[in-house]
Amino acid sequence: MSQITVVGGKPLKGRVDLKGAKNLVTKAMVAALLGESTSVLKDVPRISDVDVVQRLLQLHGVQIDFAEDGTMSLDPSGVKSARMVDIDAHAGSSRIPILFCGPLLHQLGEAFIPGLGGCDIGGRPLDFHFDVLRSFGAVIEKLPNGTRLSAPNGMHGAKISLPYPSVGATEQVLLTAVRAEGKTELSGAAIEPEIMDLIAILQKMGAIISVDADRVIRIEGVSRMVGYQHRALFDRNEAASWAAAALATNGDIFVGGARQPEMTTFLNVFRKVGGAFQIEDDGIRFWHPGGTLNSVVIETDVHPGFMTDWQQPLVVALTQAQGMSIIHETVYENRFGFTDALNQMGAQIQLYRECLGGTSCRFGQRNYFHSAVISGPTKLKGADIRVPDLRGGFSHMVAALAAEGVSNVTNVQLISRGYENFLQKLTDLGAEFTYTE
Ligand code: EPU
């Protein structure tokens, strides 16, 4: 198990450059399955979620070339069924395989999906995905080691309403509806920027998709699609992570490739907390301007709300803010597990089952510790901690870098699921650490 020994207390200063968003790139790679010709995706990061999807696509006969500069070409002309045992080897490694269903059903008439992985931040059920696929005509058979799908009568457009604007389920609809026969109307859709970028890709491939007001997306199925050429949307989650790291460590970080429009909600909160930022043409500079940080009340939400993936690194900065901050997590029921380690380091974070912060959410009456109260400022001290999940792990690293003294952080390889060249970036920012594989 990999371990980092961090000497904390030094401000992170310098520049990091972003590539494409993890939560877009992996889906764009799956979309390439729908075309008849080669797709070219630019700014693909070297992260383990990309590796898993690459290997699964290759097992299905897609020829992939991944150049040093992050340009990936995907040729689906030889697409074929993969052996169940080979697919199964990837069980538990990612959540993206569930999105292979629609494209494989269109291309091959069948699909086998391994057991899914991803961060342990709640139950993460797949009911919306399977309901969506059934609406299009898929027949789903659960096996001990995965799920087999077929479409004996073809795939047909459908009228679908999601009970919650799920990102993954919206992508499932898009990737299936574009080649289903007839029209699909999706209400209750997620409209995250990564979804809009996926829609742009699908349109380049020949799809007909319109996004109406009030979370309604309409798709007219087409019988053939071609490859696309696309530069992936930047990773706004990574941008927010480094911004929070700058604030928590009293630092100053220029995040190359970050853009304002997709981050306005984050930037408002960053400013209210007391962080400074400057928008440039090629990125955003984030820094701690000195003085006291302010406590805030935040509710995580679907876009255009404050993203759930932004809260964990920001919590570390909030341990340094004056007063009581409240975070009400309304997207995942169990996303505060990472706060145990922060408390061990000296933070004062208390979790509550109640919906604190103003509105009630679907987790309110269900016994989940989904609200956090952070009292500050508190001094953080180095500790021995274990990375629990991707974003929680990043926040542990930020806490270790901000803390006085030495921290030993284990299970660090998990962070490479979503952050390219993480250790190199830390070095570039002047962090003091040693790494053992
Ligand atoms: N949900 C269901 N049933 C379903 C699907 C979702 O109840 O069939 C629930 C989930 O349990 C959750 C809520 O709906 O409570 C939202 O889940 P969503 O489907 O939107 O999440 P996702 O597609 O699994 C993606 C990102 C997450 C990000 C969320 C929210 C990817 C690979 N993952 O997950 O990113 O937090 O959207 O924006 O795109 C991360 O990057 O660390 C990460 C976890």
Assess whether 222 and 251 both reside in one domain.
Answer: no
- The confidence score (pLDDT) of residue 350 equals 98
How far apart are the CA of 136 and the centre of ligand 1, in A? Answer: 21
- How do residues 171-187 score in pLDDT, each as one tens digit? 999 999 999 999 999 99
- The confidence score (pLDDT) of residue 83 equals 85
Assess whether 54 and 174 both reside in one domain.
Answer: yes
Active-site residue among 101, 119, 355, 361? 119
- How do residues 206-233 score in pLDDT, each as one tens digit? 999 999 989 999 999 999 999 999 999 9
Mean pLDDT of 184-203: 98
Assess whether 284 and 392 both reside in one domain.
Answer: yes
CATH number of the domain encompassing residue 78: 3.65.10.10
- The confidence score (pLDDT) of residue 125 equals 87
C-alpha–C-alpha distance, residues 320 and 314, integer Å: 10
Residue 220: is it exposed, middle or buried by C-beta count within 10 angstroms (0-12/13-18/19+)? Answer: middle
How far apart are the CA of 91 and the centre of ligand 1, in A? Answer: 18
Assess whether 216 and 242 both reside in one domain.
Answer: no
270-274 LR contacts (CB < 8 Å, sep 24+): 270/243, 272/296, 273/247, 273/314, 273/317, 273/318, 273/321, 274/247, 274/321
- How do residues 354-381 score in pLDDT, each as one tens digit? 999 889 999 998 899 999 999 999 999 9
Query: Which atom number of ligand 1 is nearest to the Cα of residue 331?
Result: 15
Query: Among the three residues 176, 196, 231, which one is the final residue of a domain in this structure?
Result: 231
Mean pLDDT of 91-104: 87
Pocket residue to mutate for ligand 1, from 98, 124, 197, 391, most atoms within 8 A of Cβ = 124
- The confidence score (pLDDT) of residue 115 equals 79
How far apart are the CA of 371 and the centre of ligand 1, in A? Answer: 18
Assess whether 394 and 248 both reside in one domain.
Answer: yes
- The confidence score (pLDDT) of residue 208 equals 98
3-state SS record for the chain: CCEEEEECCCCCEEEEECCECHHHHHHHHHHHHHCCCCEEEECCCCCHHHHHHHHHHHHCCCEEEECCCCCEEEECCCCCCCCHHHHHCCCCCCCHHHHHHHHHHHHHCEEEEECCCCCCCCCCCCHHHHHHHHHHCCEEEEECCEEEEECCCCCECCEEECCCCCHHHHHHHHHHHCCCECEEEEECCCCCHHHHHHHHHHHHCCCEEEEECCCEEEEECCCCCCCCEEECCECHHHHHHHHHHHHHCCCEEEEECCCCHHHHHHHHHHHHHCCEEEEECCEEEEECCCCCEECCEEEECCCCCECHHHHHHHHHHHCCEEEEEEEECCCCCCCCCCHHHHHHCCCEEEEECCCCCCCCCCCCCCCCCCEEEEEECCCCECCEEECCCHHHHHHHHHHHHHCECEEEEECHHHHHHCCCCHHHHHHHCCCEEEEEC
Residue 119 a catalytic site member: yes
- The confidence score (pLDDT) of residue 409 equals 95
Assess whether 171 and 142 both reside in one domain.
Answer: yes
How far apart are the CA of 125 and the centre of ligand 1, in A? Answer: 9
Residue identifier of the C-alpha nearest atom 7 of ligand 1:
125
- How do residues 105-160 score in pLDDT, each as one tens digit? 999 999 998 877 666 666 678 999 999 999 999 999 988 878 899 999 999 999 99
Assess whether 250 and 371 both reside in one domain.
Answer: yes
C-alpha–C-alpha distance, residues 21 and 6, integer Å: 27
- How do residues 298-343 score in pLDDT, each as one tens digit? 999 999 999 999 999 999 999 999 999 999 999 999 999 999 999 9
Domain tally for the chain? 2
How far apart are the CA of 167 and the centre of ligand 1, in A? Answer: 6
pLDDT(272) > 90: yes
Question: Which pTM value belongs to this model?
Answer: 0.97
- The reply to whether ligand 1 has any atom less than 6 angstroms from the CB of 107 is no
Query: Among the three residues 179, 199, 231, which one is the final residue of a domain in this structure?
Result: 231
Assess whether 145 and 247 both reside in one domain.
Answer: no
Assess whether 216 and 258 both reside in one domain.
Answer: no
Assess whether 197 and 342 both reside in one domain.
Answer: no
Residue identifier of the C-alpha nearest atom 33 of ligand 1:
23
Mean pLDDT of 413-436: 94
Pocket residue to mutate for ligand 1, from 94, 100, 167, 329, most atoms within 8 A of Cβ = 167
Query: Among the three residues 204, 231, 258, which one is the final residue of a domain in this structure?
Result: 231
- How do residues 341-361 score in pLDDT, each as one tens digit? 999 999 999 999 999 988 999
Assess whether 224 and 240 both reside in one domain.
Answer: no
Assess whether 250 and 335 both reside in one domain.
Answer: yes
Domain of 354? 3-18+234-436
Residue identifier of the C-alpha nearest atom 25 of ligand 1:
167
Q: Residue 95 — pLDDT band, cuts 50, 70, 90?
A: confident
- The confidence score (pLDDT) of residue 121 equals 62
